[in-house]
């Protein structure tokens, strides 16, 4: 019953935003999968930080750095609702804002198993308003839309690309390390 | 270009070298390779135009770059030009200045504990020793601003506590009447019984129809100012030939101190006043188009007017004068699209979090300030303007605005804004960056701002998500006691949101009572005002503002016209785009005038926000640019709200309790909110096209229509207790044409009608609003969201000076006004239309 209500609403939103007279490209339909996980590397931090990209604001001292490939329209900055990028149980932090290449560097808090946790773009909104309940519902929508995890082989390939876990003193040091990664994958502006 | 090694380390420090360069220097070669900080080989000196920039790669530090005039005493906080993690320092230069010396000092002043850093001054806060880098950090100055314009606030140095004394507005001069005005501070007028002239409105402009003349507060440079005397209001001047003086503005006390007249034009002009009407006694002031608008960093210069009818060179009892108060008689405004009088410098403060302007880090800011602060001997404080960008935008996209404001005496700061997670994080960034610039002023940019930021006069400007963020930030200060350390809600003088989103709704994105301004482009393709998306409807925030509020609706401007570099998102009919350059001209005018109005209490700036744009278009803005103004005074100035359509839902009764009668058609009182998700007129939604809030917003108004050959009226009785209008200044209301309605389309253009006051004796006086120029603008002709053409409804404020109803001896008793009536139809203005009305009230200036 819930599915039958929510999906038509999303379709209606996409349809209305596609009406003529708007120069900003319409929002792609969601939930939508990413095209690929190009890179994955676990990290730990000596000093945890408060995570702004969810309503619960967990303290983050470990996680995963990913480089994703996706439809650029899903990554395009918008002032109103943007599709929320989920990895597993939480919205992921988009570290890079450039969208034309379709590549984005993201930071995923906490333990994530790419073989079993899906990566997808959910209902447009604000990551800071996503709580665990919303995230679970979004995950359900993704599953019903047949968005599956990338699988063990792809996960292992991405992790192999990323290399061994990295340790950083702080989030600042982590972000500094990601600069080169963004350039390497064409995710920098 | 010359470079010298420092012969020896400055005393007590590990000074590394001395850089000395003449002003013509363009490039400084690498410093000695032995130096580790900043990055070896990275120090450069360049000159572009009149600006010299010293730049370097950050390196690891700690180090300081000092701009010192004394090689024997280099390390002073006031001379710090850059420190670890900073990367450049800029300052303007002028011909004839001696060479400037910069010193790179390795490992500057260290400390062990806070005790090492105590400067012995209580009111500048508690100095601390940094825990990461052990250098002295300034404390947070004690903020004693209680937000009450009528108290003098100060920090008592002996105790470090605050003291609030009632503002002594009484100047002891029996010749003046002194008072404190909330929002305006002390204000004095000349006592009418002091024998120094008679206060009168004299300056303004003539109108093509009744009331034939509009008394105004401001005029544009180069435009003749007119003087008018209505013989029915001032019969004593009839038959007299008077010397008309244009005077440098005087305060009330100055008028009391001396009544000798001195015309700024060199000599007064003689004018003879005759019997008849105001048209017979209206004159263009000779030479008024040449009056200077220049007055320091003010946006205009004030003048007083006086009629010396006994021609003795002094203002005597009974002689008329405009400006017998602390305010001017009239003000000549400069071209506000052009830079102000001050040279501007800027620097970036780049935090350690990368990447620059591309997500991730949120610790960079750019600061614009008057270059005079580069002189260590400069004193004085400047208000602070904080600019919070939108989603996917960047702090370095507002140079045009930051430099403009700084050239008029503001310190402006544009910062990284954490908008992607949402509005809460964006508001946090605004709150913390405001704290940061205040707390770190001793070191930012080498301390060039230190002691020069007025932390009691802060303006927040936000764009898009940042535009909602600044409103949310204020809400957090007021409702959630956000722990700002350097300022409080009372220090926020005004907020301006540019096309804000409305994610959070009235519970959280609420400007409360702070003066609030909305700047919006009708061709916005992002925060579009679309009828199906409450998040994209900016005007919800405007409607929530309970204090003074003003909106500027710019036809043909899109979302990113208000920054340098955002996407092209124009969404309007071909040929209607005004372009980024023109949109920014409007933006510079209104945001500067707004800040001058609320931060510096420059009252004449208000004219820009309520007079018909067609009649008072700011200099420098293209003639074809259409701007719709809306303004509402703060509650303290709403002397009587006749009907705001909130408290009384019955159409036959106003919110003030008076009877309402009407013959217009299809009348409905409803929430001003579109509910159908479409702008198409279907006949079933009276408030079609209203985008004034979400479901939780409760703003209401009245809507009706009138047809060709079927005129109608809407009339409100004034309750007996409120019938004396003599102490009020304006009748004010707002109106909008209703988009896509057949009657709007049939008469596409400015809509006009007639306003009539009737007194208890059956006497009436009427004014057609078209007399003031323009009218109620037709909706921007944009398509989408259903059939038809026309975008969201555009409320526009009309204010009519109450004494205009008395012009030329109109037989009306303003002391006993029985009703206010709006007449519609060809006899009264537009032949047909559909219109909404709201906020019908009397206001006092």
Residue B655 has pLDDT above 50, yes or no: yes
Least trusted range by pLDDT, from A118-132, B87-101, B501-515: B87-101
Name the band, by pLDDT with cuts 50, 70 and 90, for residue B721: very high
Residue B158 lies in a domain: no
Q: Which two tokens stand for residue A7?
A: 């999906």
Percentage of the residues of chain B whose pLDDT score is greater than 70:
88
pLDDT at residue number B13: 31
Residues 784-843 of B with CB under 8 A from A: 784-785
pLDDT at residue number B140: 65
Q: Is the dihedral of CA B433, B366, B554, B568 positive or negative?
A: negative
Rounded Cα distance, B618 and B611, in Å: 11
pLDDT at residue number B54: 75
pLDDT in tens, B779-828: 999 999 999 999 999 999 999 999 999 999 999 999 999 999 999 999 99
pLDDT at residue number B40: 61
pLDDT in tens, B233-277: 999 999 999 999 999 999 999 999 999 999 999 999 999 999 999
- The residue with greater pLDDT, B298 or B54, is B298
Residue A20 has pLDDT above 60, yes or no: no
Residue A3 lies in a domain: no
Residue B548 lies in a domain: yes
pLDDT at residue number B76: 65
- Interface probe, candidates B390, B420, B534, B567, chain A, greatest A C-beta count within 10 A: B420
Distances in whole angstroms, Cα of residue A42 to Cα of each of A63, A70, A161, B328? 6, 21, 11, 68
B333-356 average pLDDT score: 93
Domain span holding position A155: 27-184
> Which of B606, B632, B658 is a domain's end point?
B632
Name the band, by pLDDT with cuts 50, 70 and 90, for residue A187: confident
Containing A178, the helix (H) or strand (E) segment is: helix A171-184
Interface confidence, given as ipTM, is 0.88
Name the band, by pLDDT with cuts 50, 70 and 90, for residue B160: confident
pLDDT at residue number B36: 44
With an 8 Å Cβ cutoff, the interface of chain A facing chain B consists of 13, 16-17, 19-24, 52-53, 77-82, 93-98, 126-129, 171-172, 175-176, 178-179, 182, 188-189
CB-closest option in A13, A128, A172 to B422: A128
Q: Residue A153 CB: number of other CB atoms within 10 A?
A: 9
pLDDT at residue number B159: 85
Least trusted range by pLDDT, from A9-13, A160-164, B258-262, B418-422: A9-13
B746, B832 contact by CB (below 8 A): yes
| Same-domain pairing of B269 and B312 | yes
Rounded Cα distance, A107 and A40, in Å: 10
B735, B775 contact by CB (below 8 A): no
Chain B residue with Cα closest to A76: B392
Chain A residues with beta carbon closer than 8 angstroms to that of B421:
52-53, 93, 126-128
Residue B687 has pLDDT above 70, yes or no: yes
Q: Is the dihedral of CA B145, B598, B439, A50 positive or negative?
A: positive
Rounded Cα distance, A156 and A134, in Å: 29
- The residue with greater pLDDT, B515 or A98, is B515
Chain A residues with beta carbon closer than 8 angstroms to that of B391:
77-79, 82
CA angle B696, B702, B706 (to 5 degrees): 145
Q: Count how many domains chain A has.
A: 1
Q: Is B571 on the interface with A (CB under 8 A)?
A: yes
| Same-domain pairing of B702 and B566 | no
B738-743 average pLDDT score: 98
Distances in whole angstroms, Cα of residue B410 to Cα of each of B326, B341, B821? 24, 12, 45
Residue A12 lies in a domain: no
CB-closest option in B359, B425, B526 to A95: B359
Rounded Cα distance, A143 and B159, in Å: 65
pLDDT in tens, B49-108: 666 777 776 666 667 777 777 777 776 656 667 766 666 777 766 555 556 677 777 766
Residue B275 lies in a domain: yes
pLDDT at residue number B636: 86
B486, B439 contact by CB (below 8 A): yes
CA angle B47, B48, B54 (to 5 degrees): 40
Distances in whole angstroms, Cα of residue A67 to Cα of each of A106, A115, A172, B196? 6, 15, 18, 78
CB-closest option in B358, B501, B677 to A189: B358
Residue B512 lies in a domain: yes
> What CATH number is associated with residue B444?
3.40.50.1820
CB-closest option in B355, B501, B570 to A80: B501
Q: Is the dihedral of CA B315, B319, B320, B325 positive or negative?
A: positive
Whether residue B720 has a cis bond before it, omega within 30° of 0: no
Residue A15 has pLDDT above 60, yes or no: no
B639-663 average pLDDT score: 95
Rounded Cα distance, B327 and B187, in Å: 8
pLDDT in tens, B171-215: 888 999 998 876 778 899 999 999 999 999 999 999 999 999 999
> What CATH number is associated with residue B660?
2.60.120.430
Per DSSP, B254 falls in state H
Residue A9 lies in a domain: no
| Same-domain pairing of B250 and B270 | yes
Chain A residues with beta carbon closer than 8 angstroms to that of B390:
79
Q: Percentage helix, strand, coil, to 5, in chain B?
A: 15, 30, 50
SS (H, E, C) B366-385: EEEEEHHHHCCCCCCCEEEE
| Same-domain pairing of B228 and B321 | yes
| Same-domain pairing of B372 and B323 | no
The average confidence (pLDDT) of chain B is: 89
| Same-domain pairing of B266 and B314 | yes
Give the residue from B338, B254, B329, B249 showing the smallest Cα distance to B295.
B249
> Which of B306, B333, B360 is a domain's end point?
B333
Residue B134 has pLDDT above 90, yes or no: no
Domain span holding position B307: 198-333
Name the band, by pLDDT with cuts 50, 70 and 90, for residue B152: confident
CA B53, chain centre distance (Å): 32
Distance from CA of A150 to the nearest CA of B (A): 25
Q: Count how many domains chain B has.
A: 4
- The residue with greater pLDDT, B60 or A127, is A127
A128, A147 contact by CB (below 8 A): no
Residue A16 lies in a domain: no
Q: Do A79 and B784 touch (CB under 8 A)?
A: no
Percentage of the residues of chain A whose pLDDT score is greater than 90:
79
Rounded Cα distance, B458 and B382, in Å: 10
CB-closest option in B390, B422, B533 to A126: B422
Name the band, by pLDDT with cuts 50, 70 and 90, for residue B7: very low
Residue A85 lies in a domain: yes
Q: Do B559 and A79 touch (CB under 8 A)?
A: yes
- The residue with greater pLDDT, B630 or B121, is B630
Residues 36-55 of B with CB under 8 A from A: none
Rounded Cα distance, B84 and B87, in Å: 8
Residue B155 lies in a domain: no
Name the band, by pLDDT with cuts 50, 70 and 90, for residue B22: very low
B27-42 average pLDDT score: 46
Q: Do A16 and B677 touch (CB under 8 A)?
A: yes
Look at residue B10 and give its three-state secondary structure.
Answer: coil
Q: In what order do the strands lie in the sheet with B44-48?
A: B44-48, B51-55, B88-92
Distances in whole angstroms, Cα of residue A2 to Cα of each of A137, A139, B331, B492? 10, 13, 64, 46
- The residue with greater pLDDT, B294 or B693, is B294
| Same-domain pairing of B556 and B643 | no
Residue A120 lies in a domain: yes
> Which of B333, B356, B382 is a domain's end point?
B333
Residue A54 lies in a domain: yes
| Same-domain pairing of B599 and B647 | no
Residue A21 lies in a domain: no
pLDDT in tens, B585-635: 999 999 999 999 999 999 999 999 999 999 999 999 999 999 999 999 999
pLDDT at residue number A102: 94
pLDDT in tens, B536-575: 999 999 999 999 999 999 999 999 999 999 989 999 999 9
Q: Which two tokens stand for residue B520?
A: 């919006």
B154, B143 contact by CB (below 8 A): no
Distance from CA of A163 to the nearest CA of B (A): 22
- The residue with greater pLDDT, B346 or B185, is B346
Q: Is the dihedral of CA B172, B178, B182, B183 positive or negative?
A: negative
Rounded Cα distance, B479 and B473, in Å: 10
Q: Do A16 and B532 touch (CB under 8 A)?
A: yes
Chain A residues with beta carbon closer than 8 angstroms to that of B395:
none
Residue B193 lies in a domain: no
B24-45 average pLDDT score: 47
| Same-domain pairing of B725 and B833 | yes
Percentage of the residues of chain B whose pLDDT score is greater than 90:
75
Which is it for strands B330-333 and B218-220: parallel, antiparallel or unpaired? parallel
CB-closest option in A20, A97, A172 to B352: A172
| Same-domain pairing of B384 and B515 | yes
| Same-domain pairing of B411 and B481 | yes
B117-126 average pLDDT score: 80
Q: State residue B555 phi and psi, 5-degree precision.
A: -70, 135
| Same-domain pairing of B627 and B575 | yes
Residue B27 has pLDDT above 60, yes or no: no
């Amino acid at each position: 019953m819930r599915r039958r209500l929510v999906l038509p609403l999303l379709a209606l939103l996409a349809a209305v935003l596609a009406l003529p007279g708007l120069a900003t490209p319409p929002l792609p339909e969601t939930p939508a999968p990413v095209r690929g996980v190009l890179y994955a590397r676990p990290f730990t931090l000596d000093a945890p930080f408060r995570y702004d990209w969810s309503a619960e604001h967990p303290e983050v001292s470990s996680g995963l750095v990913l480089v994703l490939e996706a439809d650029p329209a899903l990554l395009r900055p918008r002032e109103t609702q943007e599709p929320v990028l989920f990895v597993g149980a939480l919205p992921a932090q988009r570290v890079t804002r450039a969208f034309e290449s379709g590549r984005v560097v993201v930071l995923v808090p906490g333990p994530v198993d790419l073989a079993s946790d899906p990566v997808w773009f959910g209902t447009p909104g604000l990551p800071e308003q996503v709580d665990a309940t919303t995230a679970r519902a979004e995950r359900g929508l993704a599953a019903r839309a047949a968005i599956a995890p990338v699988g063990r082989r792809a996960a292992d390939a991405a992790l192999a690309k990323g290399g061994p876990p990295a340790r950083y003193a702080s989030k600042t040091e982590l972000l500094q390390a990601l600069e080169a990664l963004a350039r390497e994958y064409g995710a920098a502006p | 270009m010359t470079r010298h090694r420092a012969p020896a380390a400055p005393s007590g420090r590990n000074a590394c070298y001395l850089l000395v360069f003449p002003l013509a220097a363009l490039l400084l070669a690498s410093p000695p390779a032995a130096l580790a900080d900043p990055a070896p080989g990275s120090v450069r000196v360049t000159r572009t135009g009149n600006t010299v920039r010293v730049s370097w790669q950050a390196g690891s530090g700690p180090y300081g770059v000092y701009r010192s005039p004394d090689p024997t005493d280099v390390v002073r906080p006031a001379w710090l030009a850059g420190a670890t993690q900073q990367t450049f320092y800029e300052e303007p230069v002028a011909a004839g200045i001696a060479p400037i010396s910069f010193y790179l000092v390795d490992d500057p002043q260290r400390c062990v504990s806070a005790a090492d850093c105590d400067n012995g001054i209580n009111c500048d806060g508690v100095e601390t020793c940094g825990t990461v880098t052990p250098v002295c950090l300034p404390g947070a100055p004690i903020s004693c601003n209680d937000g009450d314009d009528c108290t003098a606030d100060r920090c008592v140095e002996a105790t470090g506590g605050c003291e609030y004394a009632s503002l002594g507005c009484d100047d002891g001069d029996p010749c003046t009447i002194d008072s404190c005005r909330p929002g305006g501070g002390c204000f004095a007028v000349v006592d009418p019984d002091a024998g120094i002239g008679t206060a009168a409105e004299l300056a303004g402009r003539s109108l093509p129809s009744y009331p034939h003349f509009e008394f105004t507060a401001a005029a544009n440079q180069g435009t003749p100012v007119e003087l008018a005397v209505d013989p029915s209001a001032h019969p004593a001047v009839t038959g007299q030939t008077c010397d008309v003086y244009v005077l440098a503005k005087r305060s009330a006390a100055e008028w009391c101190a001396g009544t000798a007249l001195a015309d700024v034009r060199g000599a007064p002009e003689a004018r003879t006043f005759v019997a008849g009407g105001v048209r017979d006694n209206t004159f263009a002031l000779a030479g008024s188009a040449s009056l200077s608008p220049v007055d320091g960093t003010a946006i205009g210069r004030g003048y007083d007017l006086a009629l010396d009818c006994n021609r003795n060179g002094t203002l005597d009892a009974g002689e008329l004068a405009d400006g017998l108060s602390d305010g001017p008689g009239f003000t000549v405004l400069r071209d506000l699209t052009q830079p102000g009088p001050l040279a501007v410098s800027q620097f970036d403060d780049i935090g350690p979090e990368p990447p620059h302007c591309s997500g991730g880090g949120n610790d960079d800011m750019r600061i614009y300030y008057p270059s005079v602060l580069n002189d260590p001997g400069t004193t004085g404080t400047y208000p602070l303007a904080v600019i919070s960008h939108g989603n996917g935008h960047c702090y370095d996209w507002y140079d045009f605005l930051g430099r403009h404001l700084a050239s008029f005496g503001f310190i402006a700061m544009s910062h990284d804004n954490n908008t992607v997670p949402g509005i809460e994080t964006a508001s946090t960034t605004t709150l913390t960056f405001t704290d940061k610039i205040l707390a770190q002023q001793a070191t930012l940019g080498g301390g060039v701002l230190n002691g020069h930021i007025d932390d009691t006069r802060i303006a927040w400007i936000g764009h898009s998500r940042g535009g909602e963020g600044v409103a949310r930030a204020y809400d957090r200060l007021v409702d959630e006691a956000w722990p700002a350390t350097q300022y409080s809600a009372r220090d926020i003088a005004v907020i301006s949101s540019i096309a804000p989103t409305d994610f959070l709704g009235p519970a959280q994105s609420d400007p409360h009572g702070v003066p609030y301004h909305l700047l919006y482009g009708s061709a916005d393709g992002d925060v579009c005002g679309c009828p199906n998306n409450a998040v994209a409807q900016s005007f919800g925030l405007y409607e929530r503002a309970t204090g003074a509020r003003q909106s500027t609706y710019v036809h043909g401007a899109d979302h990113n016209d208000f920054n340098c570099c955002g996407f092209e998102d124009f969404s309007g009919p071909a040929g209607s785009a005004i372009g980024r350059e023109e949109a920014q001209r409007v933006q510079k005018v209104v945001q500067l005038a707004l800040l001058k109005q609320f931060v510096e209490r420059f009252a004449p700036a208000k004219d820009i926000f309520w007079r018909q744009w067609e009649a008072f278009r700011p200099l420098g803005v293209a003639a074809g640019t259409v701007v719709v103004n809306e303004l509402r005074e703060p509650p303290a100035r709403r002397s009587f709200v006749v009907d705001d359509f909130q408290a009384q839902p019955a159409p036959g009764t106003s919110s003030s309790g008076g009877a309402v009668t009407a013959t217009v058609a299809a009348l409905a009182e409803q929430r001003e909110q579109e509910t159908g998700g479409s702008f198409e007129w279907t006949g079933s939604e009276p408030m079609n096209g209203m985008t004034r809030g979400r479901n939780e917003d409760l703003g209401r108004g009245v809507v009706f229509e009138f047809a060709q050959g079927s005129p109608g009226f809407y009339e409100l009785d004034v309750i007996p207790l409120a019938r004396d209008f003599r102490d009020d200044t304006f009748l004010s209301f707002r109106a909008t044409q209703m988009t896509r309605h057949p009657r709007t389309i049939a008469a596409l253009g400015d809509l006009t009608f007639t306003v009539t006051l009737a007194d208890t004796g059956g006497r009436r006086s009427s004014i057609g609003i078209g007399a003031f120029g323009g009218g109620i603008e037709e909706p921007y002709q944009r398509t989408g969201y259903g059939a038809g053409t026309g975008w969201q409804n555009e409320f526009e404020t009309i204010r009519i000076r109450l004494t205009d109803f008395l012009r030329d001896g109109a037989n009306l008793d303003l002391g006993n006004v029985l009703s206010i009536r709006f007449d519609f139809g060809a006899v009264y203005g537009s032949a047909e239309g559909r219109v909404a009305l709201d906020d019908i009230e009397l206001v006092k200036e």
